[in-house]
Amino acid sequence: MNLHPIDIAVLLLYLAVMIVVGFAVEKRARGGLGNYFLGGNKMPWWVLSMSNAASMFDISGTIWLVSLLYVYGLKSVFIPWLWPIFNQIFLMVYLSSWLRRSRAMTGAEWITLRFGQGKGAEVSRMSVVFFALVSVIAFTAYAFVGIAKFSEIFLPETMSANTYALIIVGITTLYTVVGGLYSVVITDLIQFAIMIICSIALGAIAMWQVSPEMLQAVVPEGWGDLRFSWVLDLDWADLMPAAVLKMESDGYTMFGAFFLMMLFKGVLVSAAGPAPNYDMQRILAAKNSKEASLMSGLVTVVLFFPRYFMIAGITVLALAMMGSQVGQENSLDFEQVLPIVIRDYLPVGLAGLLIAGLLAAFMSTFAGTINAAAAYLVNDVYKRYVRPDAEERTYVCASYVSSIAVVVVGCTFGYFVTSVEQATQWIVSALWGGYAAANVLKWHWWRLNGYGYFWGMISGIAGAIVLGTIEDVNLLFAFPVLLTISTAVSVVASLLTPAEDLEVLCEFYMRTRPWGWWGPVHELAISKDPTFARNTNFCRDASNVCIGIVWQTAFVVLPITIVIQDWNLALGALVLVLMTSTVLKFTWYDRLETTETQ
């Protein structure tokens, strides 16, 4: 694609601004690890929420979601439950509050509060660091392959797609390394503003150029319907044979069983709490537990409507404009639909802004991921084991080196990943499958000790790595196997080794205040403080989670139905948003605890 000079100017200006911002906040980030990784816990919750939303608005995920909507239609709103996207609801309702009360800097540091300082705690802490690094490398490879596929379509062929990806990664790494969380958050706000403008523009163009009748002519019956049966009945055979092949390769044909497995997996993974990445970092950076909950809740409001407005706009344009072009092809790469639309169907000027916006989406995710990874390497490895008494400036410099090292390793793995779908399936099904068991138990069962946590995590991660080497394995349906193995290992290892010190557990329990099986610990807490009250909010939290999932799903359906101009469904989604928002106002928002700055 030969970019117009205006488009090139927009791109260059955007990249220059990102670098300038990174260096502008460099002095503030040098104040120490707390400033570098958590912004000194002084950032407003809504700023952290916008930053978190920008980090989730990633280009690889957008490419994947466009390909899903293109083939599966409105039913595709359920497929991201694989991730699962409703983990934000669990965080909003109760987990963000629990996590922020720990006053930790990283998930591994949180382990010390939960398991103490013994050998079991030490090995469990290192298992979290290991998982964090594995997941960050996986996310880096996932982001790398996404930006490479994006670059392949519209950038000049003077360099390879991977070379362009390396250049963009290098620029992102530069401002992330220099400015820490301050630069990540500030650039995220700029990037998110660009992405909202792009989303509105794309959705509006699609509505203007593509009528409902034009769309219906190029999609099979049931494409715009949320309802589904046990077997997926979308018939693309005459319209687009390539879509039939994709559906067969995805393995989603038995949609009823697939939906139930997604829901089962999604609930367990969400109940485990946030993975040790940028999401957890934003929670720990909040001023207090109430603001941590509000931060997670606002993500649904500010992220899903604009993101799916863009996704729907791109998909509708692609279906209407590309339908006859690809209808009889059997080899369409659906992950290139997004950049093809930008290349072929958008006017000069807007194309440059959209490219900048999607680069912003990539850079937000990448920057947040790298900054979170460096926190583990420096705070939980270098500071704890190598130089525990070094100056703060030394730790910040070590963060620079750690960030660069993670980028190099992640991009190296990215060269061997062939598709966004491949990376997504391994992360959400295999890796998260190994993470779930031990991390659900750590919140709710007092008898889980450091050894049980360690062996549960290690067995899960090892199982995920083994599954990643086996061809033709449905990773989603392998999730129960991983979950069963890691649960059994966690429980057996805990029961075969001594329980953690009750004093340590009592400190964790009284500070975090989780519900679950804490009998002996609760008795000790009462003996220390007779006024201490047990957390009896399980039923309320579970109810709010169910309402929240419906609320979030309605936020996803609403923009899609607006763009495809199905006004009956759009009105129904809007009514559902308003009803669930009203209920959550009374059952969740009004009951958030007002706590002191923590």
Query: Which has more confidence, 274 or 211?
Result: 211
Confidence grade of residue 542 (pLDDT, cut at 50, 70, 90)? very high
Query: Rounded distance, CA 446 to CA 500, Å?
Result: 9
Q: Read off the pLDDT band of 366 (50, 70, 90).
A: low
Give 498-506 contacts, CB < 8 A, sequence gap 24+: 498/449, 499/446, 499/447, 499/449, 500/115, 500/116, 500/118, 500/120, 500/121, 500/449, 500/450, 501/116, 501/118, 504/114, 504/115, 504/116, 505/114, 505/446
| Residues 127 and 435 sit within 8 Å (Cβ to Cβ) | no
Q: Which of 86-95, 153-162, 479-488 is the most confident on average?
A: 86-95
Q: Which of 45, 286, 21, 58 is nearest to 180 (CA)?
A: 21
pLDDT reading at 472 higher than 80: no
Between 454 and 190, residue with greater pLDDT:
454
The one-letter code for the residue type at 504 is V
| 145-149, 197-201, 397-401, 506-510 — most confident range | 506-510
Greatest mean pLDDT among 138-142, 431-435, 574-578: 574-578
What's residue 105's pLDDT? 67
pLDDT mean across residues, the chain: 81
C-alpha span between 514 and 502 (Å, rounded) = 16
pLDDT mean over 381-404: 79
Q: Which two tokens stand for residue 447?
A: 């008898």
Above pLDDT 90, what percent of the chain? 33
What mean pLDDT comes out for the span 44-53? 79
Task: Report, as an integer, the average pLDDT of 549-566.
Answer: 96
- Angle between helix 450-468 and 119-154 (nearest 10): 30
Could you give the C-alpha distances from 585 to 181, 329, 511, 590, in angstroms and in order?
Answer: 31, 50, 26, 6
For every residue of 179-201, DSSP letters joined together read HHHHHHHHHHHHHHHHHHHHHHH
CA angle, 475 then 476 then 479, to 5°: 90
Task: Please report the pLDDT score of residue 510 as a whole number.
Answer: 94
Cis status of the peptide bond prior to 339, with omega within 30 of 0: no
Per-residue pLDDT, averaged over 337-358, amounts to 74
pLDDT of residue 271: 93
The alpha carbon dihedral of 466, 468, 470, 475 has a sign of: positive
Q: Give the DSSP H or E segment for 343.
A: helix 337-345
Question: 268-321: per-residue pLDDT in tens?
Answer: 889 998 876 667 777 888 888 999 999 999 988 888 899 999 999 999 998 988
Q: Is the Cβ–Cβ distance between 70 and 319 less than 8 Å? A: yes
531 falls in which pLDDT band (50, 70, 90)? very high
Looking at the DSSP assignment, which residues form a beta bridge with residue 517?
A: 445
Residue 17's nearest CA partner among 140, 148, 144, 172 is 172
Write the pLDDT tens digit of every residue in 68-105. Answer: 999 999 999 999 888 788 999 999 999 999 998 887 76
Distance between terminal CA atoms of the chain? 52
Alpha carbon of residue 227 to chain centroid = 26
Higher-confidence residue of 590 and 475: namely: 590
| Segments of 131-272 assigned E as strands | none
Question: How sure is the predictor about 24, in pLDDT bands with cuts at 50, 70 and 90?
Answer: low
CATH 3.20.20 fits 5-323+339-417+535-591, yes or no: no
Report how far residue 414's alpha carbon sits from residue 146's, in angstroms, rounded to the nearest whole number.
9
Q: What is the pLDDT of residue 324?
A: 47
Compute the average pLDDT of residues 225-234: 88
Angle, CA of 455, 457 and 462, to the nearest 5°: 95
